[in-house]
Amino acid sequence: MSRVLTSLDSIRSELFGDLRSADLPPPFAEKYQDWMDAHERVGLPPRSMIDPSWLGRLVSSSVVFQVEGDDLRHRICGEAFLNRNGRFDPTGTTVGDLARTRPVARLLLPLYQRVIRDGVPAVIGLRYLTVKEHLRNCDLLVLPFGSREPGEAMVGHVLTLYDFLPVSGAPE
C-alpha cells in the first residue's frame, strides 16, 4: 500500500475573480483574455467554446469537468496532465470521490466549489504528491463555463489549465 504524505500537499496561493493583476504566463493570459472577452459579450461563456482549436497547445495540459451539484466530474484529461501525474487517469471520477483518498483533491474541492458558486475564474498555486509520490508544483487557471447556451448564469463546466513548474531537489 502506498504511503501518503499529506504535509506536502498545499495551496501556495489563490486569487478569484478579476485575474488581470495575476502574473499569468503568456498562454494562460491569452486564454483568460479570450474568456473575459466572451464573458463581457454574452455572460458566462458556453461550454461549446472549449474545443481543441480554442485551446491550441494548452489542450494537453487541460482538464474539463462537468458540474454535478457542488461536485465536479472529470470528463477530459489532457496528455500532459496524465504524464505529469504518473498516468493516473481520473476520467469519470468526481473530485469528491477522489477527496476520500487523495489529499490534493480535498484541498481543491472547496476552491472549485467557490468557482461554481460564484461563477468566477481563479488562479491557484498548488504543491502536491502524485499517486506515485512525485512532488509537483503547478499553477492552475480555472475558468467556469455555462451549462449550454451563451449567457447562462449557472456553471455547467469548469476548465482547468495546468502550468507545471520546476520543483527544486525533487524527482520528476
CB atoms within 10 A of CB 154: 12
pTM given for the model: 0.86
Mean pLDDT of 11-37: 86
**Residue 134 burial by CB count (10 A; 0-12/13-18/19+): exposed, middle or buried?**
middle
Specify the pairing of strand 135-146 against strand 10-16. unpaired
119-162: pLDDT as tens digits: 999 999 988 877 777 788 889 999 999 875 554 458 999 999 99
Residue 94 has pLDDT above 80, yes or no: yes
What are the φ/ψ torsions at residue 117 (nearest 5 degrees)? -60, -45
35-76: pLDDT as tens digits: 988 888 777 888 888 988 888 888 888 999 999 988 999 998
Per domain, the residue ranges of the chain are 6-165
Class of domain 6-165: alpha beta
Mean pLDDT of 112-121: 93
Residue 26 has pLDDT above 50, yes or no: yes
Residues 6+ apart with CB under 8 A from 19: 32, 121, 122, 123, 141
